[in-house]
Structure 1
């Protein structure tokens, strides 16, 4: 991926920014901390993959903005693409993927946002995880790989290589193997159950015939009892009908008595009400007189109420006018206070302004000094513009010369290391051959133990099956024992019947049946004890087999690693023939490089140009220290410019105060006059006096009104008495008529009571002549119900036997099918077990890591040589001996990923190296990983980003890091380095300066 153009709108710290990458080979992104350097790089990852360091999707939107947009144009696989990604705050986003054509860019989106993202990844052959672990060395993440534990490093490498797909295949193969193994066990158990069922066929037929006879006998007895029950139920139903008629007539009689009592009570209540009405009608003349007096008082109170309403209106007007006068008075006083406060503030400001204006002479002298310093600084700045390109070219020439020298030295050292390595490998060939023979012998011994392990497992399965059969037999005998105990309990009951034929037993037969049942109990108990002993023996044998199987499994643990190791040894022996030819070629190339370095035959034109540049710099006589002193002097006199601005501001404020002060004094005088007139001659005051005069003329007395209300309230009772008198005149004739109706109803009710009493006596005599069969019917129903339950149980057993016989007939064919399935499942179980081992961590995954580590080690050491001047060397180890390896010659090897770092003093731990050395090691490993991951993803690594890599380095380390970056520059189309240290900006061809402003971060491209 080669970047061409990036456009940002409201992305993180940027509002509007764009960057053209065309012509940029190695560039430095520089600026202060927090200026937005890393945000520029995050924009690329967000545009392509929608990923960034932001916690949520809306966090990438610039503060205060509502949307964000990033356009990124780049070249990949010789084809130009453009991606446009946008997002609305609180809503969704959009993604547009375009490809360049002769008529412009053409959209090639997929189906929806996810489909378009998949199309981008497919075209780039690069996902986000691979990019940030390869081309993008993110800030603070350089040591992430080294800081992990050795076993975690191997997992990280597996994740980066995307070996999890093999782990998924291994898990799937294990699941299928377990599935077929479980189904195989089920089929074998099913086969044994089928055999047992076929053997039980004759017993089931005999039991079925016996049960059919019992069912036939029970049904005959049931029919007889049902016929007898039906006859008794008919007689009992007739008796119940007579009883219901008796109860109904008794209820009717009871209701008649209650109705007679109610009518008598109602008769008494009507008579009492008539007496009360007669008393009220006798007081008619007195009630009418007092009622007329009440009406007169009511008219007088109405006249005073109308005056009271007018009185309230005048009072409300008076209160409103008083409130308005008070409100205006308070407003005038508040405004007067504010104006006086403003006058005091102006007077205080005048004092401050006079204090500032005292320093006018001192400020003018400072401004003259500032002007002189700035004139000298401009002269030195112009001289610096002449010197800067020459210094930049000088540094560039030195860097190229050193790069060439470092590249030749690194190549020489690499060839020398390969020579030593090849020599050592040739010396180890005889030992490797002997070791291969030893490993082969060990593998043969382990294969014999594998065969024995299978036999032990088969014995264990056989013992488990036998134990299960014994436990089933134990359950059956315990059930029979429980049934015999129930039978004995029934025989202990006096006058018990035979449990089998249900016939009565005499003492002799009862004792005979009890003795026979007890003998059966003892026999079954003995069989249970024997079964328990066999179960204990089977469990003991199973424990021994499990221990032996676990021991064999532990002994067979090294088998996969031995096979893998044996394959590696064979590969080494096959490659030993090519080592001699390769060694001779290496020695010839080493001689040529040593001669070139000794004679300094490299970059003669660059060295001549460097000498010419040094002479030109001496003629210009530019001194950077003098330039810095003048710049400091100019900065020291800037205070005069700031104070001059304050003087100008003070003069402007004084002019404004001179205009404003007379107006404020005039306003204070006007407010005091208006406040005085408000309470004497204003319109509101005149209205208030007129309302007070109207109240006097109305002549309303509240006490007189209150006394009249009390008198009216006392006479109000005669209004109620007058209403009661009118009601009594209406109610009296109606009550007389109602009393006559109640007396007639009472007479008719008493006559009906006599008739009902005669009917009750007749029905009671008929019921006494009928027999009550209720107890007999209940006993007979209980017998029928118990016999029905017994028949249901017998029918259930019969159906069970019939179903068992049908199953036995159908399972014969299933038995033949099972035999074939057992054979197929054994084969599939074995195949998927071998696939699980092949796809597991010790199979293909371990082999792929082992194959890629030598390439990673060589690439890392090649980069590290350039960075450290051949002072450091890295080695990767994938296995180490376990604990107590000294006591055991055949100690178990542990999978790991240790990284050994060697320098001139020997091999040391990574934590003992300084921050600068540790970063160079991390940088070398990360860059080597970047190249390998890019190659495995199917694309070439054409872009490299190093975010903040200089902070931990000293001057020499930075020079080596810059030299290393320049040395590998030819392998990349674009290299971006990010730093906040200004002294390293000149070391790169181009600079992208990032500055934080009030309009967001801004980009400035310079050479």
Structure 2
């Protein structure tokens, strides 16, 4: 991640500022304490990851404002990205993520801030914790690693390496091991219970066989009763048929009596209707006279309705003309009022323009001064265009010279370090030979133990296979023993048959069979006892072999390390052969580099070009302060142009207003004339004409209503006329209905006589058929009792069979649970081993052990630059304990050595301690960036350099410049003046009443 531009608005101590990082490779952020230096760097972390040093999220908002926003543009893998994060007080925040394309900024923002934040981390492959421990060296954390105890240092490394995930895995493995152990306990109990239950199957089978025999007897008895039941049911069915026929005749007789009564009632109803129709036909003349009177009233009502329609039409026309007259009058009044208001507004505007026009003379004088100041500024701008590229080239040449000198110095330092290491290596030749011999003897012993361990493992596998064969034989014998036990139980029952051929046995044969099965049972029990003894002995042998295997495993655990150590020693021994030649070559190169540095005999073309550029700058004599004063004078006089534009605008407005005023006076007079003429218009005349026509029409609403009341009373004659027409139509129909009803009454009487004869015949047949219902119920009761008993036996038999099925299922379940028990025990062992492997002494310790050599090498490389190779750091992971056995214990001690020897960390001065802390901190940052898979392109150093003298600061600056080629941007934060002056590019931060401000100087 390479920063390109940072824009702040109301963030912490800043109100509004923008910092462009283009051209900032190595820069110093300086300013007094509390000015906002760290806040500038906090803005980057807050924009990208949403983290800051504040406790509450709203605390990042500048005091007195409502919303804070940070706009950060950066480059990552040759692609330009932009992050905009904002937060509004008490209302939450927003996050936008964009990428630059040929068409412009394309949004990558996801649905929700959490998803967008996750996409940013995935794009950068860098989270906040790795950032603050690698690219961002935060203030006050330089000596954090050194001041911790050895155990806490390991914990810091574990946290930085994010080894906590292995703790989570270890805890999960422990949880699963506990679950597996609980499962093993439950399965062991369940298997024991199932074995007890399965042994009860033989007794249940005997009970089921007895119930099946009893059910056969009940079935035979029930068949005889079923035959008798069928005979009695046929007789009873014949009697029921006769009873039903008799009941049907009684129903038909009852229906005939009901039909007779219905016909009589209908005859009376029709007779009544005939009389009513006859009475209506007698009033025909009176109904015709009333209908004629109704028709006369309807004709008169139509005449009144026509006059009513004419009156409504005239009244609507009068209302329309009146409304049009009112609208015209209102429009003219509104227009006159608008014209009067516009006339008053023009008068007021003319009065407001007068003060502006009175400033013409003062503005003309200021414009003349502005023209002179702009000519001066234009001249200085042209000189600046000539000076700026010269200064940029001067800085670039100076930076290249400094970088060349730093590279030569770094190379000289590396040569001295390499020469020292080669001398030490050459002096260690005898010790290496002795060490190689000692390691060789140790490897021979460990190789012999590994071969013996393999034999122990093969012996254990052989014993395990032997135990599996014994267990299979034991299960076979136990199955045979179970079958014999079932046969013995069958022989104990009275009149028992042969359990093999199922034939009856006499007393002699029964004794022989019983004796034979008892003998087989004893032999099987002896075989099972022998197998159990052999299993116990084999188990003890396996335990002994397992213990011996573990002891050998512990002894040969260091085999790989010893083998690696021997390879390393052999490589060192082989490399010592060319040490002398390397020392001679290094000495020649070191002498050459020292002469070049003393005589400044390097980059001659750059030095010559630099001197030429400095002479040109002296000739141009450009001063930035004069340029700034000229620019300020132009800014101060720009008000004259604004006032000149205002005066011209006022003159144009005055001319327009004076032209508009007479037009408005004429328009107001015209509107007053139109209002007077409206009173004699055609609309008023039309209203008077409609009033005269309404008076001449002579329509009376009271007469019309009285006529409608008479018409409503006469409407009854129309109804009576309709009734007369219906009576004339109904008279022939009623005569036909009376004749039909008389015929139906005669037919019903004949059917009644026939049904009475049939009832007497059925009564004689029913007397000859006896009632066997009582005997039939007795037979049915016996069948129900027997069926109930049979159902009980069937229920018991079903229950027994279900138990047998359950026993078979239990046997399958027992087999399955035995397999599950084996798997659970295996899972328990596996997860115990995983918990140990993921623990602090497993993979975590191996990862830290692998990291420490890299950390030590990187630290000493940086510390050599900072201390002229006077300081050296060594990480010690093991030391002798206080016990007499001298057992090694794990630790993480940091041993610091200088030219006088090894001393505790507390005895070093503040400047020396800071250099050690800074080197370790920067080495950790580089390693973390490498492990995250993201190159460390940006380095932010927010540390206190107050413990360093001038020489120490120069070494720090030299070290920073030496590593500058590895980074695209390095920012160092300090408030020390002489440290600030050592940087060519500076970002000065100052606090003002309007918030912190930035000043970039190159």
Structure 1 residues 400 and 321 mapped into 2: Cα distance closer, same or farther (>3 Å)?
Answer: same
Q: How far did residue 395 of structure 1 move? A: 3.2
Partner of 2:771: 770
Shift of residue 384, structure 1, vs aligned partner = 2.5
Q: Distance in 2 between matches of 1:631 and 1:368?
A: 16
After superposition, give the CA deviation of every residue in 1:261-311 in whole Å (9 maximum; x if it has no partner). Answer: 444443343343334334433333322222211110001111222222232
Question: How far apart are the structure 2 equivalents of 1:931 and 1:805?
Answer: 65
Select which of 122, 129, 141 maps to 1:129.
Answer: 122
Name the structure 2 match of 1:629. Answer: 629
Q: Deviation per CA, 1:478-516: give whole Å up to 9, x if none.
A: xxxxxxxxxxxxxxxxxxxxxx9xxxxxxxxxxxxxxxx
The alpha-carbon deviation at position 637 of structure 1 amounts to 1.5
Q: What residue is the counterpart of 1:703 in the other structure? A: 702
TM-score by length of 2: 0.57
Report 1:12-411 matches (<5 A). Answer: 38-39=72-73, 41=75, 70-71=101-102, 129=122, 131-133=124-126, 154=158, 157=161, 206=206, 209-403=209-403
Q: Hey, what's the Cα distance between the residues in 2 that align with 1:845 and 1:159?
A: 6
Alignment partner, residue 509 of structure 2: none
Cα separation, 2, equivalents of 1:871 and 1:734 = 143
1:851 aligns with 2:850: yes
Structure-2 change in CA distance of 1:907 and 1:370 (3 Å)? farther
Q: Which moved more, 1:733-742 or 1:957-966?
A: 957-966
Correspondence for 2:532: none
Q: 1:613 & 1:905 partners in 2: Cα distance?
A: 52
The 2-side partners of 1:759 and 1:611 are apart by: 153
Name 1:713's counterpart in structure 2.
712
Aligned partners of 2:766 and 2:555: how far apart in 1?
105
Q: CA deviation at 1:42?
A: 8.0
Shift of 1:793: 3.8
Deviations 1:727-750 (A, max 9, x none): 222223323432443354345445
Q: State the alpha-carbon separation in 1 of the partners of residues 868 and 128 from structure 2.
A: 24
1:137–1:945 CA contact under 8 A, matched in 2: no
Distance 1:89 1:39, change over 3 A: closer
8 A Cα contact 1:215 1:794, kept in partner: no
What does residue 524 of structure 1 align with? none
Tell me the alpha carbon deviations over residues 857-882 of structure 1, each in whole angstroms, 9 at most, x when there is no partner: 755786799899999999999999xx
Cα distance between partner residues in 2 of 1:242 and 1:958: 133
Conserved 8 A contact 2:253-2:755: yes
> Residue 640 of structure 2 corresponds to which residue in structure 1?
640
CA contact (8 A) 1:142 1:926 kept: yes
Give per-residue Cα distances to partners, 1:575-630, cap 9 Å, x unaligned: 57878989999999799599689958685646676566555544443332332222
8 Å contact from structure 2 (residues 133, 928) kept in 1: no
Root-mean-square deviation (Å):
7.4
User: Following superposition of structure 1 onto structure 2, how do residues 808-823 of structure 1 map, counting pairs within 5 Å?
Assistant: none
- Specify the SS of the correspondent of 1:38: strand
Deviations 1:306-348 (CA, angstroms, capped at 9, x unpaired): 2222322222222222222323333333333333333333332
**C-alpha distance in structure 2 between counterparts of 1:284 and 1:331, whole Å:** 72
Q: Contact 2:308 / 2:699 at 8 angstroms: preserved in 1?
A: yes
Which position in structure 2 is the counterpart of 1:120?
none
- 1 CA distance for matches of 2:764 and 2:829? 95
For residues 485-884 of structure 1, the aligned pairs below 5 Å read 592=590, 599=598, 603=602, 605=604, 613-614=613-614, 616-682=616-682, 684-749=683-748, 752-753=751-752, 756=755, 769-773=770-774, 775-776=777-778, 779-790=781-792, 792-793=794-795, 796=798, 847-848=846-847, 850-852=849-851, 854-855=853-854, 859=858
Name stretches of at least 5 consecutive residues in structure 2 with no aligned partner: 4-20, 30-39, 45-67, 88-93, 112-118, 146-151, 465-493, 495-549, 897-902, 908-915, 975-979, 988-1001
Deviations 1:50-82 (A, max 9, x none): 999899xx99799xxxxx98249xxxxxxxxxx
Over 3 Å counting, the alpha-carbon distance change for 1:757 and 1:321 in structure 2 is: farther
Q: Is the 8 A contact 1:946 1:976 kept in 2?
A: yes
How much has 1:643 moved relative to structure 2? 1.4
1:660 and 1:920 map into 2 onto residues whose CA distance is 83
Matches of 1:134 and 1:897, distance apart in 2: 29
Question: Once the 2 structures are TM-superposed, how far is the Cα of residue 236 of structure 1 from its aligned partner?
Answer: 3.9
Instruction: Report the counterpart of residue 516 of structure 1 in structure 2.
Output: none
Q: For 2:867 and 2:264, how far apart are their aligned partners in 1?
A: 128
Contact 2:70 2:86 (C-alpha < 8 Å) held by counterparts = no
Larger radius of gyration: 2
- Between the aligned partners of 1:756 and 1:879, the Cα distance in structure 2 is 127
Q: Structure 1 residues 566, 263: CA separation in 2 closer, same or farther (over 3 Å shift)?
A: farther
Structure 2 contact 134–929 (Cα < 8 Å) conserved: no
After superposing the two structures, state which structure 1 stretch, 696-705 or 769-778, moved more.
Answer: 769-778
Q: Is the 8 A contact 2:865 2:959 kept in 1?
A: yes
Distance 1:652 1:979 in 2: 59
8 Å contact 1:865–1:873 — kept in the other structure? yes
Instruction: After TM superposition, give the deviation of residue 128 of structure 1 in Å.
Output: 7.4
Asked if structure 2 preserves the Cα contact closer than 8 Å seen for 1:69 and 1:85, the reply is yes
For the 8 Å contact 1:304–1:705, the answer to whether it is kept is yes
SS of alignment partner, residue 72 of structure 2: helix
Distance 1:246 1:852, change over 3 A: farther
May I ask how many residue pairs the two structures share in their alignment?
769
Matched residues in 2 for 1:140 and 1:712: separation? 108
The secondary structure found in structure 1 opposite 2:680 is coil
Instruction: Report the Cα offset of residue 967 of structure 1.
Output: 4.3
Name the SS for the 2:773 alignment partner.
Answer: coil
SS of alignment partner, residue 772 of structure 2: coil
Retained in 1: the 8 A contact 2:863–2:872?
Answer: yes
CA distance in 2, matches of 1:964, 1:221: 115
**CA separation of 1:385 and 1:90: change in aligned 2, threshold 3 A:** closer
Question: Structure 2: how far apart are the matches of 1:830 and 1:676?
Answer: 115
How far the C-alpha of 1:646 sits from its partner, in A, is 1.3
Q: For residues 774-798 of structure 1, give each alpha carbon's deviation from its aligned partner in whole angstroms, at most 9, with x where no partner exists.
A: 7446534533532442454466478
Distance, in Å, in 2 between the alignment partners of 1:341 and 1:877 is 96
Equivalent-residue separation in structure 1 for 2:554 and 2:675 (angstroms):
108
Q: Structure 1 residue 408: deviation in Å?
A: 6.6
- Contact 2:134–2:926 under 8 Å retained in 1: no
**Deviation digits for residues 379-411 of structure 1, max 9, x if unmatched?**
322333333233333433444455456567778
**1:546 alignment partner in structure 2:** none
Determine the C-alpha separation between the residues in 1 that align with 2:260 and 2:893. 111
> Using the alignment, how far apart are the partners of 2:617 and 2:628 within structure 1?
18
SS at match of 1:770: coil
Give 3-state SS (helix, strand or coil) of 1:622's partner.
Answer: coil
